[in-house]
């Protein structure tokens, strides 16, 4: 597996988003099976694992902690703070809560330090300078190694970085959500911050396995996402057809083309696709072997600019939590 740098943090070029193993996508997977998959992913080169206290809540951190305990010194674990668990989806990034979350996450993750600690969403009631200062204290105490932000604006990133160096910013980014390129990319490049795209496969849409007849369980958050309405899925199919075209050319899968395209954008980008199937992990990490010529990247660029994607990426309530 190739490696990449998020700031000064070296990780596998493709990580593993663990959320779906415990939360968000309907039926919860078998814990022992997921432990096995996490460990097998490490055996196949993955060293970067992403979780959060809210996933479950708590159960995903417990899963990741148990799975990685035997190989803890060889992996990078990222987790997140920032929600009021008892009153979800309210936010809470008050300094006392950040400290409390850090202590609890350390126990669940069975570790002495958190490699990358993200603020999950901006709390409008707490200045980002106070958040960054609190994480700086945790870093000085050895409880955290690196500070990260998730779904924050360029202005917030600058303010936070001025107090405590930001190692990575997590954001949705893929061929069906390219907004970070406009304002976020220039700031990350200037400040030497890495980007960690979540949902790099468009929450499964870019794999080509979802169509307008696909139904989602009530416990699958995609059931409330506008982009997954039957009419929007049908309208956005043109993007999948483009991926399928290049998949044939490259003897790859649409998912591999989608991930390889992300990797081709900047050397400081590390996507974290999630799955509960080991064969998908092998498929995803094999995307590092897919390369594009300049002409092919230009063709993808020109083709995608002609596609007008339909539907918002979040429900209205979730959209309000995004820092813009």
For residue range 243-262, list pLDDT tens digits in order: 999 999 999 999 999 999 99
Which residues, in sequence order, are CB contacts of 113 under 8 Å at separation 6+? 106, 142, 143, 144, 145
The structural domains of the chain, ordered by start, are 3-204+258-289 (3.20.20.100)
Between 260-264, 270-274, 319-323, the lowest mean confidence (pLDDT) is in: 319-323
Is 32's pLDDT higher than 90? yes
Task: Read off the pLDDT of each residue in 223-228 and give the average, rounded to a whole number.
Answer: 90
What is the structure's pLDDT at 323? 81
Per-residue pLDDT tens over the stretch 116-142 = 999 999 999 999 999 999 999 999 999
**Pair of tokens at residue 171:** 């954001």
Per-residue pLDDT tens over the stretch 141-192 = 999 999 999 999 999 999 999 999 999 999 999 999 999 999 999 999 999 9
- 18: closest CA among 192, 9, 246, 46? 46
Pair 311, 226: CB distance under 8 Å: yes
Among the listed residues 25, 55, 118, 173, the single catalytic one is 55
Per-residue pLDDT tens over the stretch 59-111 = 999 999 999 999 999 999 999 999 999 999 999 999 999 999 999 999 999 99
Q: State how far the Cα of 52 lies from the Cα of 54, in Å rounded to an integer.
A: 5
Is 266's pLDDT higher than 80? yes
Phi-psi region of 231 (alpha: psi -120 to 50; beta: other; left: phi over 0): alpha
What is the structure's pLDDT at 286? 97
pTM over cut 0.85: yes
Query: Sign of the C-alpha dihedral, residues 277, 169, 305, 261?
Result: negative
What is the structure's pLDDT at 248? 97
Per-residue pLDDT tens over the stretch 288-310 = 999 999 999 999 999 999 999 99
Beta strands 48-50; 147-150: pairing state: unpaired
Residue 301 burial (10 A CB sphere; 0-12, 13-18, 19+): exposed
> Where residue 26 falls among pLDDT bands split at 50, 70, 90?
confident
118 catalytic? Reply is: no
Task: Read off the pLDDT of each residue in 27-39 and give the average, rounded to a whole number.
Answer: 95
Q: State how far the Cα of 42 lies from the Cα of 200, in Å rounded to an integer.
A: 20
CA distances from 129 to 3, 101, 122, 235 (A): 31, 18, 11, 42
Q: State how far the Cα of 242 lies from the Cα of 162, in Å rounded to an integer.
A: 41
Is 319's pLDDT higher than 70? no
> Where residue 218 falls among pLDDT bands split at 50, 70, 90?
confident
Which residues, in sequence order, are CB contacts of 309 under 8 Å at separation 6+? 176, 227, 235, 236, 239
Query: Sign of the C-alpha dihedral, residues 242, 244, 247, 249?
Result: negative
What is the structure's pLDDT at 220? 86
Q: State how far the Cα of 93 lies from the Cα of 82, in Å rounded to an integer.
A: 5
- 232: closest CA among 216, 212, 215, 217? 212
């Amino acid at each position: 597996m190739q490696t990449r740098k998020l700031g000064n943090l070296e990780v596998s070029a493709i990580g593993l988003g663990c959320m779906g193993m415990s939360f968000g996508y309907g039926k919860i997977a078998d814990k022992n099976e997921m432990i096995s998959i996490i460990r097998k992913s490490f055996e196949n080169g993955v060293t970067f694992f992403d979780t959060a206290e809210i996933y479950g809540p708590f159960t995903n951190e417990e899963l990741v902690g148990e799975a990685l305990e035997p190989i803890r010194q060889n992996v990078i674990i990222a987790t997140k703070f920032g929600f009021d668990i008892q009153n979800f989806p309210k936010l809470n990034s008050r300094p006392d809560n950040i400290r409390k979350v850090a202590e609890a996450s350390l126990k669940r993750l069975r570790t002495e330090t958190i490699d990358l600690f993200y603020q999950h969403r901006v709390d409008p009631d707490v200045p980002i300078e106070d958040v960054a200062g609190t994480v700086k204290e945790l870093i000085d105490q050895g409880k955290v190694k690196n500070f990260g932000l998730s779904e924050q604006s360029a202005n917030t990133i600058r303010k936070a970085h001025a107090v405590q160096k930001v190692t990575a910013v997590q954001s949705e980014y893929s061929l069906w959500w390219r907004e970070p390129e406009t304002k976020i990319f220039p700031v990350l490049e200037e400040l030497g911050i890495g980007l960690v795209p979540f949902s790099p496969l468009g929450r499964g849409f870019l794999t080509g396995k979802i169509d307008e007849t696909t139904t989602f369980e009530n416990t699958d958050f995609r059931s409330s996402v506008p982009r997954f309405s039957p009419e929007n899925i049908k309208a956005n199919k043109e993007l999948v057809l483009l991926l399928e075209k290049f998949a044939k050319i490259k003897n790859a899968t649409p998912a591999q083309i989608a991930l390889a395209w992300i990797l081709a954008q900047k050397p400081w980008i590390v996507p974290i696709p999630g799955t509960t199937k080991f064969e998908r992990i092998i498929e995803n990490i094999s995307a590092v072997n897919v390369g594009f010529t300049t002409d092919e990247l230009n063709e993808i660029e020109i083709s995608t600019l002609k596609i007008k994607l339909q539907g918002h990426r979040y429900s209205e309530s979730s959209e309000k939590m995004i820092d813009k």
